[in-house]
Structure 1
Amino acid sequence: MPEGAQAPETTGSVADAYRGNWVDRYAPEFAKPYFRLSRLDRPIGTWLLLLPCWWGLFLAIAATGEPRLFDAWIFIGCGLGAILMRGAGCTWNDITDRGIDGSVARTASRPIPSGAVSATQALAWAVAQSLTAFLILLTFNWAAIGLGILALLPVAVYPFAKRFTWWPQIFLGLAFNWGALLVWTAHTGSLGWPAVLLYVAGMAWTLFYDTIYAHQDREDDALIGVKSTARLFGDATPKALAVFLCAAVTLMGLAVIAAIPRGEIATMVVALAGPWAMGWHMFWQLRQVDLNDHPLLLRLFRSNRDAGLLPVLIFAAACLV
C-alpha cells in the first residue's frame, strides 16, 4: 500500500462488489474474507466462466441429437465447478498479486492487502476449493478429466501474465473458456473442431469484455507498471473492441456450422442465431463505451452475463428442433 494510505476496514465490503450483496449481509463474519477471496460477492466472473461450459454442452447435444440423462448432471456440475474453480482461481490471483493490489484503489480493500486473511490461509482455501472441484470432475469421462487437469496450467499462469505481456487478457481467455472444450468432450467422449472454434470464439469475447473492464485500472496500472490491453490500445480501444466482436461472432458461427450435421438445416438456422444475438449485444456495449466513465465500464462488463447467456438459450432451443 502506498505510504500514507489508510488501510481499508477488514470487515467492510470490497470496493467493486455489489452493494448489499449476500456475503456482506448474511455470511458469518469468519467466512466473509474467504467468500470475498472467492468473489462470491461479485458473481459476474462465475457467469463468465460458466457460460462457455453451457455453450459446449448445448451445442454438443444439438450436434449429436442425443440428449442423455447424464447431461443434466453435466449442466449442474458445471455450475458447481464454475463457482469452485472461479473461487480457487481468484484466490490464487490475489495471492500472487498481494504486492500489487494494495497500490490500486479498486483492489486495496481485498482480503489479503486489507489484512483480513494471510497468504497462507488464502492458499489453504484455494487448495480446498480446487480439491472439491476435482471430485466433481471425476464424475466425467476420462478425456474430460484429462482436459480438466490441463486447465490448471492457464489458471496458474494468468496472474503473472500482466507482468510480461501487453496481452494478459489472452491468458484469461485461455483459462475462462476452457469449459467449452471440457464439456463438449464430457458429452461426446472426444474433443472436436466445433469445440475448438467455440473455445477461440470465447477467447475473443474475453478480450472484448476484459479490455472494457481493464480501463477502470488504466491509470493505476500505468503507475505500477502492470500491462493490459486497455493500456496497449488506449484511446483506440473501440476499434480493437470492434475486431474482437467480429472475431467472436464469426468463430462461434463457424463452430455451429462445423457442429451441426449437413441436412439438419432447421437446427443450424436456429443455432446460428446464437452468435448473432450475442454479437448484437456486444455491438450495443460498443456503442455505449465511454473509456473515462468507470461506473459505466463496470456496468457494461457485468452486462456480458446477458450477452453470453443468449447463445446458451438459443443453442438449447436448437436441441429441440
Structure 2
Amino acid sequence: MHDDSPHPPPSSAPASRRRRRRLVAALAVVAAVPAGWFALDALAGPGAPPKPSARPAPAGEGPGASNGTAGDRKPGHGGGPLAGKVVVIDPGHNPGNFQHAREINEPVDIGTNRKECDTTGTATNTGYTEAEFTLDVSHRLRTLLRDQGATVEFTHDADRPYGPCIDERARIGNTAEADAVVSVHADGSAVGNRGFHVILPAPVRAGAADTSPIVGPSRALGEHIAGTFARATGSAPANYAGGGTGSVVRADLGGLNLSTVPKVFIECGNMRDPKDASLLTDAAWRQKAARGIADGISTYLLG
C-alpha cells in the first residue's frame, strides 16, 4: 500500500521497530506469492480455464482485432527477409455471396467487356465451399508471409455481406501498390480433372485495362508459385488445363485485366473431383498449399 498523505498515521512503537515490522511483513507477502500460484496450478485439473496472461494479444490476433483487410495493413514480424514488401491476398468469393444473388450478378466493367460483380464459387460433394477453402488457405498464407516480415493486406475476410466485386478487388491491390497479389481459388471442373494451375494475365489493352506493364512480372510470379506449390503439396499440374505446365493465360478475368501490379490466380485443385476434394478438405494439406504459395511469393520477391 502506498500512502502519499503528508502525515503518517500515529504509532506508539519506535520508528526503527516499525520499519523492521514492515520489512518482515513485506518479505512474508513476497514469499507467499509463488506458493499461492503453485497451489492454484495443483488445483487446476484437465479442462480448467487457463490463468490470464499478462502478455497482450499480438495486433490482429485478439478478439475484435482487425483482420488485415483492405485499408488496414498489418506489418510483418520484425525484420525478416520480406520486410518492406507488400503482399495482397485475395480470397476468392465470399461465404455471403449465396445470400446476395442480385448484388453479385450486377455487371461491372473489366476493360474488355462487362462481367458479373462476383460469383458464389464451387463446392465439394460434401458441401465444403470454395469460399471456406480460400479463406482458410489465405489465413495460413498471411501468417507465413508475416513471419517473413511482409506487410499483408486482404481484399476481404468475410467481414462484408458479399464481394467485393472483381473490379474492386483489383483496385485494392493497385491502391496498396503491392509487390505481389495472389487470388486464391479452387476449381469446379469435371470428375477426373485433377491438379492445380496458376492463371496469368494475357496482354490486354482495352478501356480501363492495360496489362502490358504486368504481364512479364506476373508470369515470373506465377512460375515461382507453380514450382513451389508442386513441391510443397505433391500435387501435379492440372491434367485438363495448361498442357501440363501448371500455367494458363487468360484475358477474361477482371481481377487480372484491371490490375496495375503483378498478380496471379491459383486454382489449388478441383473440388468436384473426389480425389482432389479429399486433399482440399484436409487441414494438413491446406497448410502445405499455403506454404507452397508463400514460398513462391518469397522467391519471386527476393529475386
TM-score, with structure 1 as normaliser? 0.30
Higher share of residues assigned helix: 1
* Larger Rg belongs to: 2
Higher share of residues assigned strand: 2
